[in-house]
Amino acid sequence: MSLHTSVGESGRLLTPLDPNPVTIINQESSFPVLLVCEHAGKAVPAALGKLGLADGTLDAHIGWDIGAAGVTRLMAERLDAPAVLQSYSRLVIDCNRPPNAPDAMPEVSDGVTVPGNRGLTAEARARRTREIFEPFDETVASMRAAPHCRALFSIHSFNPQLQDGVLRPWQISFLYRKDARTSERLRQLVLEYGPGLTIGMNEPYTIDDESDWFVPRHGEQSGLPHSLIEIRNDLIADAAGQAEWATLLSRVMHHFVTEL
């Protein structure tokens, strides 16, 4: 039986032994900023084994955003802010992509073949969408609709260099499309609290409807101030780095909130 058809008698992908796809922190908080982390986890449903991958593959950037969950959790704690984190590896389904996008369940990621995603049937894709993507997406939509929510930010991380060895010089970047004002203000505040940092704007990625979800579907559709925050993952790979960046960004958020 192939990896992507190994489901229970109920026809469901997830079992009670699998992690909940959604983790909510400070759900009752009235802090006006919602934090989101789509690539917080690297879990794989038991029915999919390890997606046919070698040991350790899911620990790399292709499996999740290294350090992003730690920074998000610490920010939520320090700000007493609500946060929504997603538990499963982006290779199972990328919750910052439209579910029908080719790279939402990639057969190859950064040159690594993902056997468990090869030749997925429409029903196999639908199960992942229905049981992982939709609960996470609906939770974000519900929490951003709360009356006290006045801004939302998604926390991500990126590799320090490309596969060809070209270094990426930015320590932190802000991704946006229509709401340039929010990202520009965050850039200014980061420089105020962290002088000397090299900051990217729409680096190392850009936003579009075909391959992005948070900015078009949650940020722009809500009309709320928003930005997708990317931190270079070598800076937040350990607890000390996560604490340092969570402290910086918490100060930035405190200041930003006073201006809302």
Confidence of residue 7 (pLDDT cuts 50, 70, 90): low
pLDDT digit string (tens) for 199-246? Answer: 999 999 999 999 999 999 999 999 999 999 999 999 999 999 999 999
**Does residue 152 have a pLDDT over 50?**
yes
E-only strand ranges, the chain = 22-25, 33-37, 83-86, 108-109, 112-113, 151-158, 172-175, 199-201, 226-232
Q: Which of 152, 131, 182 is nearest to 82 (CA)?
A: 152
Task: Using DSSP, state whether 35 is helix, strand or coil.
Answer: strand
Residue 101 pLDDT: 95
Of the ranges 5-14, 187-196, 226-235, which one carries the lowest mean pLDDT score?
Answer: 5-14
Distance, in Å, from the CA atom of 134 to the CA atom of 84, rounded to the nearest integer, reads 13
Phi/psi-derived region of residue 121, left when phi > 0, alpha when psi is between -120 and 50, beta in every other case = beta
Provide the residue range defining the domain that includes 153. Answer: 3-258
pLDDT the model gives residue 38:
98
pTM of the entire predicted model: 0.95
pLDDT, the chain, mean: 95
Neighbours of 141 (CB within 10 A): 14
Angle between helices 239-258 and 180-193 (to 10 degrees): 120
User: What's the CATH code of the domain at 85?
Assistant: 3.40.630.40
Quick: pLDDT tens for 104-122: 999 999 899 999 999 999 9
Interval 79-100: pLDDT, tens: 999 999 999 999 999 999 999 9
pLDDT bucket at 4, cuts 50 / 70 / 90: very low
d(CA 202, CA 199): 10
Question: How many domains does the structure of the chain reveal?
Answer: 1
Count of other CB atoms within 10 angstroms of residue 57: 18
pLDDT, tens digit, 9 for 90 and up, residues 14-60: 999 999 999 999 999 999 999 999 999 999 999 999 999 999 999 99
CB 46 within 8 A of CB 19: no
